[in-house]
Amino acid sequence: MTEKVRDVISRNVWKENQVLRMILGICSSLAVTNLMVNSLVMGLGLTFVTALSSLTISLLRNAIPHRVRMIVQTLIIAAYVILVDIFLKANMTDISKALGPYVGLIITNCIIMGRAEAYAQKNPPLLSMLDGFFAGIGYTIVLLIIALFREFLGFGTIFGFNVNFIGFETWTIMVMPPAAFFLIGILIWITSNMFAKGKASKAK
Amino acid sequence: MTITVSPLIIFLASILTSNMILSNFLGMCSYISISGEYKTASSLGKSVTLVMVFTTIINYWVNKLLIVPLGLEYLQYILFIMIIAASVQIIEMAMDRLLPDLHVKLGIFLPLITVNCAILGTTLFMVIRDYSFIQSVLFGLGSGIGWWLAISALAAIREKMGKAKLPKGLEGPGIAFIITGIMALAFIGFSGIFSIT
């Protein structure tokens, strides 16, 4: 049951978007979305880890004994996360500080484990890598959407550039935790409405 | 961090002002998916608290006696996650022997806790903030209780809301996030009392 590449892309980015449809990987997606730069780095880091750990797990899928697979997968993921962490510490010290423990927490991000369990276990390496890659891209897009609203309304900036031309009062609440919960709730609402409509029009 | 914060303040702050879920967003996956029923949510909260205290104690000593003296900081994540996985196993086995009733109740949740970000998060916060032993234990306990409080509150609210009519797309996780947002707003009210960052 090999899928076409196009299906892999549309499934991971939209139809089964990990954050909005599967409700996975929420922890980090809320914590880092107060600035767009942080979200972009976080998203790319996660994409990197998901793609490569899916590839590795898929390559080893026949060699890993079934009963210890969880711990093996966790170790593989942890190894890649350490790479990301060291890279960020060396090249982007500020962002690495701002992200704090959330880089290390990529290890326990359910998206990676979910992709490994649900896909890389049963599929060939290259396809698994693509699957992981686009799952990460879907995640990054959602992060950027949330961060766009939070940064624009909270600081009046986008990617650090001032775009507050009208000079409106910035909403402190947007950079605080509650706004993240409201925004993701609303995004989930919008997407599930869109899917409900799509289904209804197909039924006709 | 040079200023030492009183352990008691850390304990209270980690429950109220720096709540693991409501202000650090940790442990969301199980928080959203297992909050449909008050009883199960509460038992999950208890087991998370137990595991959290246990792992902060072990990870504190591992960090102090093994990682720092040997300069193994780059292996931190791997060691921590392995210790968490192992201690969950040990707690499960010990519970099976000593408290079989409790094990039947909590058993299904224990393996899930390994991948709960709140546990690893607590350990990482402890290391980054450079807590002393007593501070770490109370931080772990407080974070666990805070997590328990938040998931029980959400589950109780969702149970009451079972009868309410909601817009279709908002059912399930959507409304859970909105409720959590309102809860987080309420918890901001505590923010003047103590603060740890």
- pLDDT tens digits, A64-108: 887 778 788 888 999 999 999 999 999 888 888 888 788 888 888
pLDDT for B2 equals 47
Task: Compute CA B3 distance to the chain's CA centroid, rounded to the nearest angstrom.
Answer: 25
* Helix and strand totals (H; E) in chain A: 9, 2
Task: Report pTM.
Answer: 0.84
CA dist B163 to A113, B66, B153, B166, Å? 35, 54, 17, 9
Closest CA to B26 of A106, A93, A163, A120: A106
Q: Which two tokens stand for residue A76?
A: 């593989």
Sequence-distant (6+) residues with CB within 8 A of A29 are A19, A139, A142, A143, A146, A184
Among candidates A27, A75, A107 on the partner chain, residue whose Cβ is nearest the Cβ of B26: A27
- pLDDT tens digits, A124-133: 888 899 999 9
Residue A99 near chain B (CB below 8 Å) = no
Residues A115 and B31: their CA atoms lie apart, in Å, by 20
Among candidates B27, B32, B169 on the partner chain, residue whose Cβ is nearest the Cβ of A189: B169
pLDDT for B153 equals 92
Compare B28 and A45 and report the one with higher pLDDT: A45
A2 band by pLDDT with thresholds 50, 70 and 90: low
| % pLDDT > 70, chain A | 97
Residues B7 and A42: their CA atoms lie apart, in Å, by 32
Sort out which chain B residues have CB atoms less than 8 A from A104's CB and list them.
76-77, 120, 124
Q: In residues, how long is chain A?
A: 204
Sequence-distant (6+) residues with CB within 8 A of B145 are B15, B49
The verdict on a CB contact (< 8 Å) between B178 and A181 is: yes
Average model confidence (pLDDT) for chain A? 84
Q: Which two tokens stand for residue B144?
A: 């666990």
pLDDT for B45 equals 87
> Domain map of chain B by residue range?
26-189
The answer to whether A80 and A49 are in contact (CB under 8 A) is yes
pLDDT for B67 equals 87
Sort out which chain B residues have CB atoms less than 8 A from A192's CB and list them.
168-170, 174
Residue A26 near chain B (CB below 8 Å) = yes
Among candidates B26, B82, B177 on the partner chain, residue whose Cβ is nearest the Cβ of A184: B177
- Judged on CB neighbours under 10 Å (0-12, 13-18, 19+), A2 is exposed
Residues A48 and A141: their CA atoms lie apart, in Å, by 15
Chain B CA closest to residue A25: B29
Confidence check: pLDDT of A51 > 90: yes
Q: Which of A43-47, A49-53, A88-92, B86-90 has the lowest mean pLDDT?
A: B86-90
Helix (H, G, I), strand (E, B), or coil: what is residue B105?
helix
Among candidates A25, A27, A104 on the partner chain, residue whose Cβ is nearest the Cβ of B124: A104
Chain A CA closest to residue B167: A189
Best mutation site among B26, B161, B187, B195 for testing chain A: the one with the most A CBs within 10 Å? B26
Q: What is the mean pLDDT of residues B92-108?
A: 78
Q: Which amino acid is at B143?
A: S
| Backbone φ/ψ region at B195: left (φ over 0), alpha (ψ -120 to 50), beta | beta
Chain A CA closest to residue B74: A82
Sort out which chain B residues have CB atoms less than 8 A from A182's CB and list them.
177-178, 181
Q: For residue A60, what is the enclosing H or E element?
A: none
Instruction: Encode burial over A57-80: b for 16+ CB neighbours within 10 A, e otherwise.
Output: bbeebeebeeeebbbbbbebbbbb
The verdict on a CB contact (< 8 Å) between A181 and B180 is: yes
B1 band by pLDDT with thresholds 50, 70 and 90: very low
Among candidates A85, A113, A178 on the partner chain, residue whose Cβ is nearest the Cβ of B184: A178
Best mutation site among A27, A99, A182 for testing chain B: the one with the most B CBs within 10 Å? A27
Give chain B's largest Cα–Cα span: 59
Instruction: Report the 10 Å Cβ neighbour count for A9.
Output: 17
CA dist A96 to A51, A190, B119, Å? 21, 32, 21
The answer to whether A12 and A5 are in contact (CB under 8 A) is no
Give the number of A-B residue pairs with CB atoms closer than 8 Å. 127
pLDDT for A71 equals 81
